[in-house]
Amino acid sequence: MRLLPMTHREGASGTAPRWRLLPRWLGGARGARPPDDGADPLLVGLTGSGARRADALFKGITLLFAGLVIFLVFGIVGSLLYQSQEAWATLGIGALFGDEWLPGGQPAKFGSLPLVWGTLVTSFIAILIGVPVSIGIAIFLSEMAPPWIRGPVSVIVELLAAIPSVVYGLWGIFFLAPFLYDSVYPRLQANWGWTGLFTGQSTGYSVLTAGILLAIMIIPTVSAISREVFRAVPASQREAAFAIGATKWEVVRKAVIPYGRTGLFGAAILGLARAVGETMAVTMVIGNRNAFFGGLLEPGNTIPSVLANETYEASGVHLSALFALGVILFIVALLINIAARILVKRVLKQAEVAK
């Protein structure tokens, strides 16, 4: 609606102001024409700007887009289920949870356990190595480092997050794996072979390599959240510990960490979520062989790595079985992510309230 106060010259009697209401292109209700009978134009100026309709429309549109997010969740799992029907039908759950994944075999086998195993082991290694390192970094940044270091260092750690995973994979293939193969694995096999963990004909491309690479990749996420958790610990906790003569480490270990342990746990779960879903780096260094319960130095496969490698050329039951894997991965990733988010949110919220 246009508001065009008439000028002094245009106004007839020069007493009350005259308002001219013009209709808008939007289709708001047409305003009344300028009254020429001297009636107070205000009487026609209070209804029908069309704003109410436009407001409702706008709200509806934004609601639609927001609903798209939820729709996508169902859409994704729906599409996976749809494409995997054949597998569920013809193979059945039993075969899908068998212990051999051999799409090219005679007969072809689509047991997912080796892949689940690979996923679990690589993620577990990633957490085992990555979480302590991340917490160490978080301790350094929040308890030890002078303020001027914190900025640059946290930037550098975040830079790790910016590197595309395929570049990690590239580096893994041509640097990390050969390095581990040459310098680390022989020593591992020699000194720790008795644990039975480090069996396998190692070429460097193995489950352990993938786990180590994953550990590096989850550091930015886990350390960032750990830092938030530490920052949420009130200063009074630390001061109290210092006051009774604890060393710095003891303050961290006995006052700070216990206070934030739920949050740290949440950070670890988040790292787990990241590790489980990681595809490219893993698939490039894991050796792509479907061993089950092999040694750590044996090549293996994870669900994401198999999906990445085989989907492109798969068809028929094979393709369908891959999508069944996708369903499994979806559910696992969903549960882990939900758990992580709930934990982390709860801790950060508590901190807000406490402050």
Kindly identify the residues of this chain, within the stretch 230-269, that bind other proteins according to CB under 8 A: 247-250, 252-253
Q: Which residues contact 311 (CB under 8 A, 6 or more apart)?
A: 319, 322
By CB under 8 A, what part of segment 305-324 binds other proteins? Answer: 307-308, 311-312, 323
Task: Annotate 279-308 with b (16+ C-beta within 10 A) or e (fewer).
Answer: bbbbbbbbbbebbbebbbbbbbbbbbbbbb
Which span sits near other proteins by CB under 8 A: 40-48, 94-102, 196-204, 230-238? 40-48
Distance (Å, rounded) from C-alpha 332 to C-alpha 339?
A: 11
The kind and range of the H/E element at 287 are none
Query: By C-alpha distance, which of 242, 223, 228 is closest to 161?
Result: 223
Position among 14, 94, 146, 147 found at the interface with other proteins (CB under 8 A):
14
Classify residue 19 as exposed, middle or buried by CB count within 10 Å of its CB (0-12, 13-18, 19+): buried
Contact segment (CB under 8 A) with other proteins among 15-23, 105-113, 187-195, 290-298 equals 15-23
Residues 67-106 that bind other proteins (CB under 8 A): 67-70, 72-73, 75-76, 79-80, 82-83
Binding region for other proteins (CB under 8 A) out of 106-114, 167-175, 227-235, 258-266? 167-175
In the complex with other proteins, the residue whose CB is nearer, 167 or 193, is 167
Span 205-224, contacts to other proteins by CB under 8 A: 216, 219, 221, 223
| Token digits of residue 298 | 């044996």
According to CB under 8 A, which residues from 322 to 351 bind other proteins? 323, 326, 329-330, 333-334, 337-338, 341
Query: CA-to-CA distance for 225 and 271, rounded, in angstroms?
Result: 10
Span interacting with other proteins, options 98-106, 160-168, 232-240, 257-265, rule CB under 8 A:
160-168
In 174-243, alpha helices (H): 177-179, 185-192, 207-232, 235-243
Contact by Cβ (8 Å): 14, 8: yes
User: CA-CA distance, 342 to 338, in Å (whole number)?
Assistant: 6
Q: Which of residues 20-39 bind other proteins (CB under 8 A)?
A: 22, 24
Based on the shown chain and the rule CB under 8 A, indicate whether residue 6 belongs to the binding site for other proteins: yes
CA distances 130 to 98, 218, 332, Å, are 31, 7, 20
Q: Select the span of 44-52, 87-95, 120-128, 293-301 touching other proteins (CB under 8 A).
A: 44-52
We find the least distance from the C-beta atom of residue 4 to other proteins, in angstroms, to be: 7
SS3 291: coil
Which of 92, 105, 164, 234 touches other proteins (CB under 8 A)?
Answer: 164
Q: Is 273 in the site for other proteins (CB under 8 A)?
A: yes
Residue length of the chain:
355
Binding-site member from 97, 171, 242, 265 for other proteins (CB under 8 A): 171
Question: Shortest approach of other proteins to residue 349 CB, angstroms?
Answer: 13
Task: Name the minimum Å distance from CB 194 to other proteins.
Answer: 26
169 binds other proteins (CB under 8 A): yes
Q: Tell me if 43 contacts other proteins by CB under 8 A.
A: yes
Number of C-beta neighbours around residue 35 at 10 A: 14
Pick the closer one to other proteins by CB: 161 or 199: 161
Q: Which is nearer to other proteins, 136 or 234 (CB)?
A: 136
If binding is defined by CB under 8 A, does position 17 make contact with other proteins? yes
Query: How many residues sit in the footprint of other proteins (CB under 8 A)?
Result: 111
Cβ burial 74-90 (10 Å sphere, 16+ → b, else e): eeeeeebeebbebbbee
Chain residues 132-151 in contact with other proteins, contact rule CB under 8 A: 132-137, 139-140, 144
CB 286 within 8 A of CB 205: yes
Report the alpha-carbon angle 177-179-180, nearest 5: 65
Binder among 278, 286, 292, 296 for other proteins (CB under 8 A): 278
